[in-house]
Amino acid sequence: MNFPGGRRFAFSILDDTDDSTLENVRPVYDRLRDYGLRTTKTVWPLDCPEGSRNYFAADTLQRSGYLSFVQELVRDGFELAFHGATMESSHRERTLRGLEFLEREFGHRPRLYANHGENRENLYWGAERFRTPALRALLKRLQRRHPPGWFAGEVEGSPYFWGDACRETFRYVRNFTFRGLNVLAVNPKMPYQLESSPYVNYWFSTADAHDAQAFRRRVTRDALDRLEEEGGVCILSTHLGKGFAHDGRLHPEVDEVFGYLAAKPGWFVPVSTILDHLRERNPQGFLGSFDLLRLELRFLSDWLLDRDRYASRATRATAR
């Protein structure tokens, strides 16, 4: 890959807003700014009056101080992204109201969307995440967590449908996540299009580190050295509200990694900027059936082997 300015690799973070508050993420973003690392932050624009068992600790943009903080980030070159209207499932009206709020407060709508958890308005989620028909049919038979049709963001006629607004608003939607940092090693043709998911313009993949512990295990000096040697691209999905800062201070190991990364000849820009650059290589971007099947099987393999994911589930269960 060739990167602007002769940079040798690209690195960005896609920060899911779960558990994020003004107090626990401001120290993280202060250090990212200090180091010249520009990343992408998802938000929930609206409150969740019905309550949430799992995500009640997070701020939404209805907290004025948090809204001002995110607006400041955007002015400083960070990217705004959408994680749904709020932390729990939203009918079409609330989803559209959330998008209108962002346009009103920021002067534009985001270019990037990431499905959240088990929200029913998620697009092409659950078994529908797999677009290879045989694999999708198998997973529908195996899954027991949700009844058929639970995720319905792309289902016309459903009260959760908003696929038309997604297609009109968002250039990029996150799909699969993987354990390795260099996402081009597993998905070299991203961002990509699929004829079977017409409400999404372009899909993209990311590396995955659920929280600060997983981040420290995966984003090491050695891993960053390999990323540079490979001339790769790391878009890392994580939750900067999960243990990255405590009592107003960034975790010292995370701080050391940020500093080591910033000293390298990397291209440190928001996620959509990287995806725009990648899209110039393959403007059509349609992924063939063989490449799609390989990507889906690789995701399943990584998901089954991901001990960090199981550890985070155990932690949440203990907390409840």
CATH classification of the domain holding 213: 3.20.20.370
**How many angstroms separate the Cα of 144 from the Cα of each of 110, 125, 126, 150, 204?**
34, 14, 11, 11, 27
Domain count, the chain: 1
Read off the tokens for 112. Answer: 């990037």
Between CA 152 and CA 203 the distance in angstroms is: 18
Alpha helices in the chain (DSSP H): 22-34, 64-75, 92-106, 133-142, 163-169, 212-218, 221-230, 252-262, 271-279, 289-305, 307-319
pTM over 0.85: yes
pLDDT at 148: 82
- Residue 80: C-alpha distances to residues 70, 167, 260, 306 (Å): 8, 17, 25, 28
Contact predicate 10/267, CB 8 Å: yes
Q: Degrees (nearest 5) of the Cα angle 13, 29, 40?
A: 30
Low-confidence ranges of the chain (pLDDT < 50): 310, 313-320
Looking at residue 75, what DSSP letter applies?
A: H
Closest CA to 17 of 51, 52, 60: 60
Instruction: Give the span between the Cα atoms of 54 and 47, in whole angstroms.
Output: 14
pLDDT in the model for residue 97: 98
How far is residue 309's CA from residue 56's CA, in Å, rounded to a whole number? 21
pLDDT of residue 142: 86
The 10 Å Cβ neighbour count of residue 310 is: 11
Question: What is the pLDDT, as a whole number, of residue 309?
Answer: 55
> Parallel, antiparallel, or unpaired for β 9-15 and 40-43?
parallel
Provide the 3-class DSSP secondary structure of residue 205.
strand
Q: Which domain holds residue 285?
A: 4-319
- What integer pLDDT is reported at residue 281 of this predicted model? 79
Local structure of 91: helix, strand or coil: coil
- What is residue 261's predicted lDDT score, i.e. its pLDDT? 98
Distance, in Å, from the CA atom of 82 to the CA atom of 294, rounded to the nearest integer, reads 28
